[in-house]
Amino acid sequence: MSKISRSFFPNLTMVIFLILLMFMFIFMLMFLSSKSWAYGHDKWVDHEKWWKSYLIHKIINKNDLTFCVVVKDKRLSKENISIEVNTALKLWIRSIDVFFKNGENNQSTIKISEINCDKKNTNPLDIMSVRMVDLFVEVAAEDIFVDLNGYYLPKVYNNHNYAYIKVNLAMLDNYEGKIYKWNDTFMVLKKDNLSKLDKEKYLWEISVNSPTDVATLAKKNNIEYRELFWTTYKTLIHELGHSIGLCDTKDTLFKDQCDVNFRSSDEQKSSVMKDAKYFYLTEDDLDGIESLVKRFKEKSKERIRVRIEDEGKNSILSTILGPI
Ligand SMILES: [Zn+2]
């Protein structure tokens, strides 16, 4: 009997110890998998010619940001698109501010203002406007990148770098015999009668106060998923992610667009930058922003100093007008 007890008790302790170890291992795995990064930096974000066109540098270094909007289809309201761009910008800037200031202050200090760049001539960019604008958003039919729903391009005009976003109105989605085309977010949600202020509040609600995805909001408003998917606000949030400096994390696009030194593993979860089904920034999108801020916080300041010196030297050249 005593022999059995001696051999039994040490075994029991060992079993309990092993069970505890197993639980610790499972918890560790759960913790690690919930924190797996899924983001990438756009591979051009540090390019010598283009880096100044990315909003990450402007937001970190400037106190104000200007944008302009051109809408070339009467089905979509210019005022609504402006509200969407403004809110989407605030959404990203808010997250940048949190990491930039190490969470000290949640309030954005950068001033966002809209300027006019729709001159209704062959070149929609007024020379004065383009020299001031940081973000130019065009909602119109695309004739070059016809297969894209929308895109971002870093641009330089007359020595001025700016971000350019296009929503391609020519893109149609033919799904099960029904055609879905781009639409105005507020029209689709039947909220176009709201005041401008209430529209802003509404977008802030679905993006910040009660973060909502496309499927949930479609169900809540009793509309088809695809109808809400083909609206501008959630697409603008995605394209703004590009203009700030993040790349697409979807499948092959991830390998083509992302900087090999600044991206996470190939296992990418659903996020704004992967499939654009959200009105809010997911944890992975925020991880991308955090890493962008860490990468450029100091570097950007040094470069801005260099840029100011360069501009002084080239002040005469910069008055010569050139093509976009
Ligand atoms: Zn994209």
What pLDDT shows up at residue 2? Answer: 45
**Ligand 1 centroid to 43 CA: how many Å?**
13
How many angstroms does the Cα of residue 11 sit away from the middle of ligand 1?
57
Q: How high is the pLDDT of residue 19? A: 76
Distance in Å, CA 237 to ligand 1 centroid? 10
Name the fold adopted by 39-315: Collagenase (Catalytic Domain) (3.40.390)
Q: 19 CA distance to ligand 1 centroid (A)?
A: 46
Please list all protein residues whose beta carbon sits less than 5 angstroms from ligand 1, which is an ion: 248
CA separation (Å) from 259 to 45, 152, 269, 298? Answer: 9, 16, 18, 19
pTM: 0.79
* Å from CA of 91 to ligand 1 middle: 17
Total Cβ atoms within 10 A of residue 57: 24
Q: What is the 3-state secondary structure (H, E, C) of the chain?
A: CHHHHHHHHHHHHHHHHHHHHHHHHHHHHHHHHHCCCCCEEECCCCCCCCHHHCHHHHHHHCCEEEEEEEECCCCCCHHHHHHHHHHHHHHHHHHHHHHHCCCCCCCCCCEEEECCCCCCCCCCCCHHHHCCCCEEEEEECCCCCCCCCEEEEEEEECCEEEEEEEEECCCEEEECCEEEECECHHHHCCCCCCCHHHHHHHHHHHHHHCCCEHHHHHHHCCCCHHHHHCEHHHHHHHHHHHHHCECCCCHHHHHHHEEEEEECCCCCCCCHHHHCCECCCCHHHHHHHHHHHHHHHHHHHHHHHHHHHHHHHCCCHHHCCCCC
Distance of CA 116 from the midpoint of ligand 1 (Å) = 26
Q: How far is the CA of 273 from the centre of ligand 1 (A)?
A: 6
Measured in angstroms, how far is the CA atom of residue 151 from the centroid of ligand 1?
6
Q: Cα of 239 to ligand 1 centre, how many Å?
A: 6
Using a 10 angstrom Cβ sphere, with 0-12 exposed, 13-18 middle and 19 or more buried, the burial of residue 304 is middle
How many Å lie between the centroid of ligand 1 and the Cα of residue 131?
Answer: 26
Q: What is the pLDDT of residue 123?
A: 54
Cα(321) to centroid(ligand 1), Å: 32
Q: How far is the CA of 248 from the centre of ligand 1 (A)?
A: 5
Distance 114 CA to ligand 1 centre (A): 24
* 217 alpha carbon – ligand 1 mean position (Å): 22
What are the structure tokens assigned to 204, written together?
Answer: 């802030």
Q: Cα(83) to centroid of ligand 1, in Å?
A: 21
Q: Rounded to an integer, what distance in angstroms lies between the CA atom of residue 253 and that of residue 278?
A: 19
Query: Residue 148 and residue 144: Cα distance in Å, rounded?
Result: 9
The residues spanned by each domain of the chain are: 39-315
Q: What is the 148 CA–ligand 1 centroid distance (Å)? A: 9
| Cα 235 to averaged position of ligand 1 atoms, centre (Å) | 9
pLDDT number for residue 323? 27
Distance 274 CA to ligand 1 centre (A): 7
Can you give the pLDDT of all 324 residues of the chain as single tens digits? 444 445 555 577 777 777 777 767 665 555 444 444 579 999 999 998 899 999 999 988 888 899 999 999 999 999 999 999 999 999 999 988 877 765 455 555 788 999 888 665 445 555 555 668 999 999 999 989 888 899 999 998 878 899 999 999 998 888 888 999 999 999 999 999 999 999 999 999 999 999 999 999 999 999 999 999 999 999 999 999 999 999 998 877 777 888 988 888 756 788 999 989 999 999 999 999 999 999 988 766 555 545 444 444 433 222 222 222
The full length of the chain comes to 324
Burial degree of 33 (CB within 10 A; 0-12, 13-18, 19+): exposed
